[in-house]
Amino acid sequence: MSHTPQGQRASLDKQPHEVAAMFDGVAARYDLTNTVLSFGQDRSWRRATRAALGLRPGERVLDVGAGTGVSTEELAHSGAYAVGADLSLGMLYAGKRTRPSVPLLAGDALRLPFADASFDAVTISFALRNVNDTDAALAELARVTRPGGRLVVCEFSTPVNPAFRTVYLSYLMRSLPAVARAVSSNPDAYVYLAESIRAWPDQAALAARIGAAGWGRVAWRNLTGGVVALHRAVRN
Ligand SMILES: C[S@@+](CC[C@H](N)C(=O)[O-])C[C@H]1O[C@@H](n2cnc3c(N)ncnc32)[C@H](O)[C@@H]1O
């Protein structure tokens, strides 16, 4: 963790206490900062995540790394029962204040507080990248999902067009931290955001890891030219 006058950010080895402290520091303005930095795209990414899950009324869906519950709330629009879990108490408190009707609880993606096969579907939005053991988290998501249940991972990925990729990477490394300084309660966390996106596996590499963790029929769809990818899979 680096401590600066602005705040703190996790290092790329993603120790859970550092990650939780970093998100505690951005919680107050998390929803607003997201929308500004993504030029409002985050809303359509969340809607696409809900659609990809194919939720039916009465089904149970778990949203891991739910943060302030912004992703969990979107899932509930399907009529499914959606519950969120997160490591950062600061994010959970912010969610309880702004979305009191969304069920949110404390839980680590690597040791989810649920019995085997508890859910019809599981999802993780912009959070898998922050967990220090990606493969163990994917296996833990499989554990709490019933056989035949669905997974959707919504995560930053690799833009497919090389020219766009160059512009995007320059936005990530230069402009995004500057914009974050104007709107976020912990701008330093957005340096980590940029670095962690650059270090993240591309679409095909993530699909292979999902397939190795107990999931079948793995496929993905690019959003915003591959800035974000939705990976879908079915529990073996
Ligand atoms: C960028 S936020 C995403 C929040 C929300 N899903 C969204 O779409 O806006 C990432 C969240 O993942 C959480 N997180 C990171 N590591 C975690 C872990 N091991 N278990 C549970 N949550 C974790 C962080 O606390 C943070 O709230």
Mapping DSSP onto H, E and C, the string for 16-61 reads HHHHHHHHHHHHHHHHHHHHHHCCCHHHHHHHHHHHHHCCCCCCEE
Q: What is the pTM of this model?
A: 0.94
Which band of pLDDT confidence, cut at 50, 70 and 90, is reported for residue 94? very high
The sign of the dihedral angle between the CA atoms of 107, 9, 26, 61 is: negative
Work out which ligand 1 atom sits closest to the CA atom of 67.
Answer: 27
Task: State the pLDDT at residue 2.
Answer: 39
Q: What token pair was written down for 88?
A: 């950062």
Work out which ligand 1 atom sits closest to the CA atom of 84.
Answer: 6
b or e along 95-107 (b: 16 or more beta carbons within 10 Å of the residue's beta carbon)? Answer: beeebeebebeeb
Contacts of 162 (CB under 8 A, 6+ apart): none
Q: Does ligand 1 come within 6 angstroms of the Cβ of 67? A: yes
Q: Is 153 helix (H, G, I), strand (E, B) or coil?
A: strand
The CA 197 to ligand 1 mean position distance, Å, reads 14
Work out which ligand 1 atom sits closest to the CA atom of 23.
Answer: 25
Strands 215-223 and 104-106, by their bridges, are: unpaired
Please provide residue 119's backbone torsions phi and psi, each rounded to the nearest 5 degrees: -125, 150
Q: Does ligand 1 come within 6 angstroms of the Cβ of 131? A: yes
Q: Does ligand 1 come within 6 angstroms of the Cβ of 229? A: no
Percent of all residues in the chain with a pLDDT value above 70, rounded to a whole number: 97
CA distance 231 to 204: 10
Residue 51 pLDDT greater than 50, yes or no:
yes
CA distance 110 to 51: 26
The CA 78 to ligand 1 mean position distance, Å, reads 22
pLDDT digits (tens, 9 = 90+) for 183-232: 887 888 888 899 999 999 999 999 999 999 999 999 999 999 999 999 99
Q: Does ligand 1 come within 6 angstroms of the Cβ of 48? A: no
Half-sphere exposure of 70 (CA within 13 A, CB side): 20
Task: State the pLDDT at residue 185.
Answer: 78
The CA 163 to ligand 1 mean position distance, Å, reads 30
